[in-house]
Amino acid sequence: MRVIAGSAKGTRLGPVPRGVRPVSDRVREGLFSSLGDAVESARVLDVFAGTGALGIEALSRGAAHARFVDRGSASIRAIRENLRRTRLEDRATITHGEALATLMDDDNSSGPGYDLVLADPPYEHPLESVSATLAALAGGRLRSGGTCVLTRPTRSSTPVIPLHWGVSRRLEYGDTAVLILREA
């Protein structure tokens, strides 16, 4: 895996921890091409961060800050190493914890919410939990006018999308579906 574009373009990311399914270079390239200017100067939240590849790609492309959330100790170590390799650690914070619990505990006192949320839950993650995570994001964690990106297996059911959100774009790459969600 490598960073596709921006200030860290071409930087090779570290080894993928056991049990982590990172978003491929091809999927990241298509996703970020679809997002366009939504990344520039954005406050980014990368939940179910794994290796941090999505959030790091956003930082490399000009995001102002990224917060990485993952429950796995090996993932937290990988994120730290990848931020070090890309020299982007000064614009990042890392939270070791469950995505939904972190969102529920986050009082969002650090600002008006996130401009861009990148959610790449494990394929086997319960659909109800994915839906609950989206609901928590809709409850003020995602700034009005912001964008939420959700990856799912192409053969899975779609989670319950918050009432005032809509799928603005659906991309498919092999077994990965990428939903770009925005306020309807």
**Highest CATH level, class, for 25-183:** alpha beta
pLDDT-based confidence at residue 145 (cuts at 50, 70, 90): confident
The domain spans of the chain are 25-183
101 Cβ contact partners less than 8 Å away, ≥ 6 residues apart:
none
pLDDT digits (tens, 9 = 90+) for 150-177: 998 888 767 778 888 888 999 898 888 8
Q: pTM value?
A: 0.91
84 Cβ contact partners less than 8 Å away, ≥ 6 residues apart:
none
Whether the per-residue pLDDT at 59 is higher than 70: the answer is yes
